[in-house]
Amino acid sequence: MITVKEVTTKKGLKTFVKFPFSLYKDSKYWVPPIIKQELETFNKDKNPIFKDAEARFFLAYKDNEVVGRIAAIVNWLEINKQQIKKMRFGWFDFIDDKAVSKALLETIENIGRNHKLEYAEGPVGFSNLDKVGVMTEGFDSIAPMITWYNHPYYASHYETHGYVIEKEYSESKFPFKNVNPETFSKAQDLIKRRYKLRALKFTKTEEVMPYADKMFDLFNESYASLSSFVEITDIQKEYFKKKFISFVNPEYIKFVVDENDKLIGFAIVMPRFAEALQKAKGKLFPFGFRHILKAKKNSKDVIFYLIGIHPEYQNKGVHAVIFNEYYETFTKKGIKTCYRTPELEDNEAIHKIWKHFSPTVYKRRKTFRKDL
């Protein structure tokens, strides 16, 4: 018999966070989160998303053993402002027992019906800066820190329980040696002169901070047209600055401004921390920090995390300025492989940007939905 219980204590929340550690203990490709950071993500006093959203956490038990988990998420910004009546769910993990996944999904479906929502979709997080999608291809490659990894049986559970594909994502990579600077070096000179643009270079994290709020504003503007978009609010900006920017090498943050110092393009690249996080085993102390700092300094693989261009400058080649900056930085660093985070299959604009680098898709993932 399967029993689903809501998490109501700190101990229970820690059990929720640590469940995948047992589920994936024999996996070479799963990358554990930092337990402390996961707990803070779910802490209503620390994560400002809870001012505009609510979440409930559930564990499934079989014979008094934890066999699954799920987070039920209601984002009121999405529901009230965008009129998208979606029941979100994420952090959905389970053993290969369809009675377990069914019990967990029925729990979040009932919450959605109680809120008079129209459909459930997952796995997703609170916003666009969270992890997304159940992996359907690429199980034999290590997961980046900013995506979920899952066993191959997951997708069949969704289908069995009446869920259909909602969105499709791909993750790609390319060797840095594939990059031919001639595809953007001349163009970027012309574009900078034509639109009176300049690129900003950073060597210290504190140099980035005066532009960070403007970056999130531009993020909101440049991503607003995507089907999965939920805006980042002012109070969330401070949280994300502390959570993400300290992890990023300042030289991997590229901004493009116009003659009035207005930010019109940005990109954030992160070192590949996957192997370091596997060694850390979910803990920063006593040795986790050492592994992460070593990767930050020495990793020869990088992940393109975010790239955004102001709507007025899209399709005008501004990305050439950004790529030229990265080419110079990556050449000095000896970068070998560039990875990209999950991108919507229907985001034609982003696919055009990357086509010159001959990327190879190495993972695919999907979100699933069910009408309520």
User: CATH says 175-362 is which class?
Assistant: alpha beta
Residues forming beta bridges with residue 220, ordered by sequence position? none
Report the C-alpha gap between 280 and 261 in whole angstroms: 41
Q: How many helices (H) and strands (E) does the chain have?
A: 12, 14
Amino acid at 120: A
The per-residue DSSP string of 340-372 comes to E--EETT-HHHHHHHGGG--EEEEEEEEEEEE-
**Residue 132 to residue 119: CA distance in whole angstroms:** 17
Q: Where are the domains of the chain?
A: 2-170, 175-362
What pLDDT, on a 0 to 100 scale, did the predictor assign at position 315?
Answer: 86
Structure tokens at 120: 């459930």
Residue 213 pLDDT level (bands cut at 50, 70, 90): confident
pLDDT tens-place string over residues 17-75 = 999 999 999 999 999 999 999 999 999 998 999 999 999 999 999 999 999 999 999 99
Neighbours of 261 (CB within 10 A): 10
Asked whether residue 237 carries a pLDDT value surpassing 90, the answer given is: no
Burial class (CB in 10 A: 0-12, 13-18, 19+), 299: buried
Closest C-alpha among 234, 235, 200 to residue 217: 234
pLDDT at 227 over 70: no
Task: Find out whether 332 and 215 touch, Cβ atoms under 8 Å.
Answer: no
Give the CATH number of domain 2-170: 3.40.630.30
Q: How far is CA 237 from CA 82, 300, 351, in A?
A: 20, 29, 27
State the pTM of this model. 0.92
In CATH terms, are 2-170 and 175-362 the same topology?
Answer: yes
* Cα–Cα distance measured from residue 160 to residue 106, given in angstroms and rounded to the nearest whole number: 13
